[in-house]
Amino acid sequence: MTRCVLLALLFLAAPALAQAPPPEPATVRSEQHASIARHDMVAAANPAAAAAGREVLRRGGSAIDAAIATQLVLNLVEPQSSGIGGGAFLVYWSAAERRVFTIDGRETAPAAARPDRFLGPDGKPLAFYDAVVGGRSVGVPGVLRALELAHRRWGKLPWAELFAPAIALAEQGFAPSPRLHALLLRDPFLRLAEPTRRYFYDADGAPKARLVDPGLAATLRAVAAGGADVFYTGPIAADIVHAIAAAPTNPGDLALSDLRDYRAKLRAPVCGAYRGHRLCGMGPPSSGAVTLLEMLGMLQRFDLARLRPGSAAATHLFAEAGRLAYADRDRYLADPDFVPVPVRGLLDPGYLARRSRLIDPAHAPSGPAAPGDPPGTHASLWGRDRAPELPGTSNIAIIDRAGDALAMTTTIENAFGARLLVRGFLLNNELTDFSFVPQTDGRPVANRVEPGKRPRSAMAPTLVFDRRGRIELALGSAGGPAIINDVAKSVIAVIDGHDDLQTAFDLPNDGNRNGATEIEAGPGAEAMAAALRALGDRVAISDRPSGLTGILVTPKGLEGAADPRRDGTALGD
């Protein structure tokens, strides 16, 4: 049995209000089993959400239609992770067009935002939760604009029909999952303001046994009837702005004009090769695809199949590739509408070969890696990023009967976002994904706060194609900046280890983000740590929550899998 299935006993007691809650920790679960379907499949972080998406597919809906229904139900049953108050990145394969498209629904900073937004009066960065809770951290939500853009091009069923499952569930109510219940017990901030406290908790402060959300049902009915414009203008927009400005802590400055002017963007995908397979993902402001492809590019010269993914030798190489790729990520990757991002240089084969030669299979160097100098730029132009980035988020993977496929990663950032509930949905705290420090050593940080800018993200929705160009795998994960490592370990397990998808997801979440090599707690962790320390690695053993969901195309059919660390499932026909 794998280590991740036996993660130990979380959520034993609620912390004092002065303590910060853990960032979406893992949930103890029984072992997951892959689902097999012949025609279509939805993999999502909650069974009710996956069921809503499957029902849309049964009614003849497209993968995009199913993603909309799935996301709207996730807003209800997994409110800590995503929703219409947040943002998303969508990677979509149109089988008819034989083309990958990517949609950027990332949040934007208000026009009033300034680079010193998260510095205190003393000029020092705010503590993370001092910045998160309240209005200052809220960016303009992008989910509905992104979904609307996708539906206009690839939707089959009427927009309004896709809202019906979430509306019905909001009105009828549902019992929170054990995971959601545990997170509500532990969070010290949700009880501090209305209407958030009243929605989640009884009068005595205990989490409710059943959640009914007529406010969200009304919001969804309005958007279903009038489209996303209803959300971005009019009474809903006014209530969002008021909640941010009137927040009891950290009132914010998001304006009606910020909502009115928001647009989701159709961007070019970032694609690359790994052992004859083609991988495509979201480009900047996501760092996911670039960093993932950097890691894989540096590992190409090593025979990971012989070393066995998950062995100490392979884990050392994986950690070293991560160390180098994350060094580049922190220096160069940001919103390309504001800074020149050297995507082509970072993925240049010659550059990756030079970076790969820094990896010693027998020894780990001390200290963090320095960023490289890819063609087209120089590391000295930019300062070191200092964004805290804690895990949260959710992922949806879908393949429909037409062969269209998508991976969509969606988030409100930290668990429960800014802790502001408006008309039944929580607002994001996405602006804390910017660097809290706008410059270091006299150089500007690429990912600094600027008006209208989108913060860098680690979300890595990914599509993988086989050697004949056929869709092979759709996947992504929750987990903050470690998302990239968790997606990479799964891709390597499938391609190099020839593992089935559930086995790949079950593997321990080990990796390096240019610091200590992180080893997931569980059986075998101490032995792995000892083996890596013998190679010079600095090692930290900890709970390593992820939220992988995905679908693998196999000779048996579509094989769906979900992370055993969370509550997800895969359903199909």
Write out pLDDT tens, residues 297-307: 999 999 999 99
What are the Cα distances from residue 380, in Å, to 160, 290, 323, 354, 444? 51, 20, 19, 18, 10
Q: Which residues contact 206 (CB under 8 A, 6 or more apart)?
A: none
Task: For residue 457, give the DSSP letter.
Answer: B
Detail the DSSP E strand segments found in 3-86.
35-37, 41-44
In CATH terms, are 3-8+33-267+387-509+544-572 and 270-381 the same topology?
A: no
Dist CA 164 CA 224 (whole Å): 9
For residue 287, is pLDDT > 70? yes
3-state secondary structure 92-113: EEECCCCEEEEEEECCECCCCC
The 10s digit of each residue's pLDDT in 196-212 is 999 999 999 999 999 99
Task: Compute the average pLDDT of residues 237-255.
Answer: 96
Task: Compute the average pLDDT of residues 249-274.
Answer: 97
The pair of three-digit structure tokens given for residue 340, joined into one six-digit string: 């020149």
The 10s digit of each residue's pLDDT in 391-431 is 568 999 999 999 999 999 999 999 999 999 999 999 999 99
The pair of three-digit structure tokens given for residue 30, joined into one six-digit string: 């029984």
For residue 326, is pLDDT > 60? yes
Element (H, E) at 404: none
The least confident of 17-21, 331-335, 416-420, 560-564 is: 17-21
Q: Which residues contact 337 (CB under 8 A, 6 or more apart)?
A: 453, 454
For residue 335, is pLDDT > 90? yes
Q: Report CA torsion sign: 503, 508, 509, 510.
A: negative
The pair of three-digit structure tokens given for residue 559, joined into one six-digit string: 């094989």
Class of domain 270-381: mainly alpha
The 10s digit of each residue's pLDDT in 48-84 is 999 999 999 999 999 999 999 999 999 999 999 999 9
Within a 13 Å sphere around the CA of 247, how many CA atoms are in the beta-carbon half?
29
Among 312, 353, 398, which residue's Cα sits nearest to residue 55? 398
Query: 15 or 122: whose pLDDT is higher?
Result: 122
For residue 343, is pLDDT > 60? yes
Among 208, 195, 244, 193, which residue's Cα sits nearest to residue 17? 193
The pair of three-digit structure tokens given for residue 280, joined into one six-digit string: 């495509």
214-218 CB contacts, 8 Å cutoff, 24+ apart: 214/170, 214/171, 214/424, 215/423, 215/424, 216/75, 216/76, 216/166, 216/170, 216/423, 216/424, 216/425, 217/167, 217/170, 217/171, 217/424, 218/423, 218/424
Q: Catalytic amino acids?
A: 393
Among 389, 459, 412, 436, which residue's Cα sits nearest to residue 196? 412
CB atoms within 10 A of CB 114: 14
Task: Compute the average pLDDT of residues 296-323.
Answer: 94
Dist CA 537 CA 310 (whole Å): 16
Detail the DSSP E strand segments found in 246-334.
265-267, 270-274, 277-281
Dist CA 337 CA 341 (whole Å): 9
For the chain, the domains span 3-8+33-267+387-509+544-572, 270-381
Q: What is the pLDDT of residue 17?
A: 27
CATH fold of 3-8+33-267+387-509+544-572 reads Glutamine Phosphoribosylpyrophosphate, subunit 1, domain 1 (3.60.20)
For residue 440, is pLDDT > 90? no
Q: What mean pLDDT value characterizes the chain?
A: 92
The pair of three-digit structure tokens given for residue 451, joined into one six-digit string: 């008006």
Dist CA 135 CA 142 (whole Å): 17
pTM listed for this prediction: 0.93
Dist CA 102 CA 288 (whole Å): 13
**% of the chain residues with pLDDT over 70:** 92
